[in-house]
């Protein structure tokens, strides 16, 4: 396309050349060519590590005096722990929680890896007024293991 020196056409003059101006139509293919950026690559969603779950089952012996988990679990002196990971604190039906636990749940406490780690390391330090009279788990490995075990339990 040559660039002629620009001339001002009078309004009355029809513009003579309209040729060769057409651009090629945009290619729809461009959109498809983009690689699927941001697709999750990590395998973390594959579920808890079975070894960690097995270790957690052993740690659960420390909880079993008060808690049950699994298919036929019922509330004992502590609530059953089925589906606890991801659940709002203090919401197992039919269990009488402390005011502290109920309040924590009402204020939005959800049991995830972080909150469970905090609570299980030091229940009474983490939640003043809880009636879970358990000293706490010292080892971070035990906490990771019990969390994986609980996470592996269904509802
Ligand atoms: C001496 C009995 C006892 C032991 C041992 C015990 N718990 Fe508890 N647990 C309780 C009681 C009672 C509650 C309810 C606390 C409240 O209402 O403040 C509770 C509450 C909980 C909650 C919150 C449940 C909910 O529905 O929000 C979790 C999670 C929990 N315990 C996990 C554990 C784990 C894991 C262990 C073992 C490492 C353990 N507990 C050991 C008695 C116990």
Q: Is the CB of 90 under 6 A from ligand 1?
A: yes
Q: Is the CB of 120 under 6 A from ligand 1?
A: yes
pLDDT score of 4? 58
Domains and CATH numbers, the chain: 49-152 (1.10.760.10)
Q: Phi/psi at 88 (nearest 5 deg)?
A: -70, 140
Q: How far is the CA of 89 from the centre of ligand 1 (A)?
A: 11
pLDDT score of 155? 72
Q: How far is the CA of 144 from the centre of ligand 1 (A)?
A: 16
pLDDT score of 37? 56
Helix, strand, or coil (residue 50): helix
Q: How far is the CA of 17 from the centre of ligand 1 (A)?
A: 84
Q: Is the CB of 144 under 6 A from ligand 1?
A: no
Please give the Cα distance from 57 to 110 (Å, whole number).
22
- For the whole model, what pTM was predicted? 0.77
Q: Is the CB of 77 under 6 A from ligand 1?
A: yes
Q: How far is the CA of 112 from the centre of ligand 1 (A)?
A: 15
Q: How many CB atoms lie within 10 A of CB 117?
A: 16
Asked if 20 contacts 119 with a C-beta cutoff of 8 angstroms, the reply is no
Q: Which atom of ligand 1 is nearest to the CA of 96?
A: 17
Residue 16 has which token pair?
A: 């003579």
Q: Which of 66, 83, 149 to mutate to test the pocket of ligand 1 (most atoms within 8 A of CB)?
A: 66
Query: Could you tell me the mean pLDDT of each successive run of 10 residues in the chain, 155 residues long?
Result: 56 54 54 51 66 97 98 97 97 98 98 98 98 97 97 85
């Amino acid at each position: 396309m040559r660039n002629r020196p620009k001339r001002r056409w009078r309004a009355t003059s029809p513009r003579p050349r309209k040729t060769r101006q057409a651009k090629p139509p945009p290619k729809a293919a461009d959109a498809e060519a983009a690689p699927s950026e941001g697709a999750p690559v990590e395998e973390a969603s594959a579920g808890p590590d079975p070894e960690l779950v097995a270790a957690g089952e052993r740690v659960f012996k420390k909880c079993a005096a008060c808690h049950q988990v699994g298919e036929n679990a019922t509330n004992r002196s502590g609530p059953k722990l089925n589906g606890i990971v991801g659940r709002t604190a203090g919401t197992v039906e039919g269990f009488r929680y402390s005011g502290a636990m109920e309040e924590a749940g009402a204020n939005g406490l959800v049991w995830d890896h972080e909150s469970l780690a905090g609570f299980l390391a030091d229940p009474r330090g983490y939640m003043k007024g809880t009636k879970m009279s358990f000293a706490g788990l010292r080892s971070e490995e035990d906490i990771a293991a019990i969390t994986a075990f609980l996470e592996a339990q269904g509802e």
